[in-house]
Amino acid sequence: MTEVWELPEDRLADTPASCHPRKSASKDTHDISKGKMVVDHHRGFKKNNKPVEDTTKVKMKWIPPGDNEVKLNVDGAFSREDRAGIGILRDQQGAVIFTACRQLQKCRDATEAEIMAIEEGVTLALQWTDLRLIVESDCSTVVELITGTKPNRSAYTFRINVIRELLRERGSRLAKISRDANMVSHGLAQLGKVHGRTQVWLHESPSEVTEAITSDCNLNSS
């Protein structure tokens, strides 16, 4: 049985007989905060020095592309009733080249929605820029399927091969990012799914993602 004694810090080494133990809810030894000691009937007194973990979440930010590059962020959204996707293309200064959302037809699951969003996004981006593309998705499964070096034999083989060819066209590349750094395209995919919209905005964006775009720029400048 383990018991916890409440003691002032300056008296940890001297335990008076008048102190009454408060029994722990568990038989196991718990993490005890500073100013307390653990009493184990088999091992005696011991001070708990376990470090406290820092659980503060660091928000990941969107990072602009390099010289002679543009960045395409894409996302897919899927439900039984609706599916949609696509994203945003921006230059080195963060200026919008286009934003887009569209409903996706003949999409069997969430993975295929992410793949189709990449295919649609890259195809559109190649029409609106002559620069090298940096394509970003927050779906690790799809990024691994496309960037893998082994032949793909999944149900998505045809689309994956199409995307690989599109990326080779200008030496473009696909990378995995966190959802925090992909909020604009996430919002656009949801816009297409929830509202059933298929639309392209050149050099501008719908009001639903304006705040997210501004946040990306602010995080980048901070």
Q: Are 146 and 111 in contact (CB under 8 A)?
A: no
Q: Is 51 helix (H, G, I), strand (E, B) or coil?
A: coil
**pTM for the predicted model, two decimal places:** 0.72
Q: E strands within the chain?
A: 2-6, 22-23, 36-40, 44-46, 69-78, 83-90, 96-103, 132-137, 173-176, 199-202
Contact 15, 7 (CB under 8 A): yes
Q: Note whether 124 and 86 are within 8 A (CB).
A: yes
Number of CB atoms found within 10 A of residue 34's CB = 9
Q: CA–CA separation, 159 vs 164, rounded Å? A: 9
pLDDT in tens, the chain (222 residues): 544 444 444 444 444 443 344 444 444 444 434 444 444 444 544 455 555 555 555 667 899 999 999 999 999 999 878 888 999 999 999 999 999 999 888 888 999 999 999 999 999 999 999 999 999 999 999 999 999 988 888 899 999 999 999 999 999 999 999 999 999 999 999 999 988 889 999 999 999 999 999 988 776 665
CB-CB contact of 4 with 21 (8 Å)? yes
Q: What domains are defined for the chain?
A: 2-46 (no CATH), 69-221 (3.30.420.10)
For residue 37, give the nearest of 51, 20, 52, 49 by alpha carbon.
Answer: 49
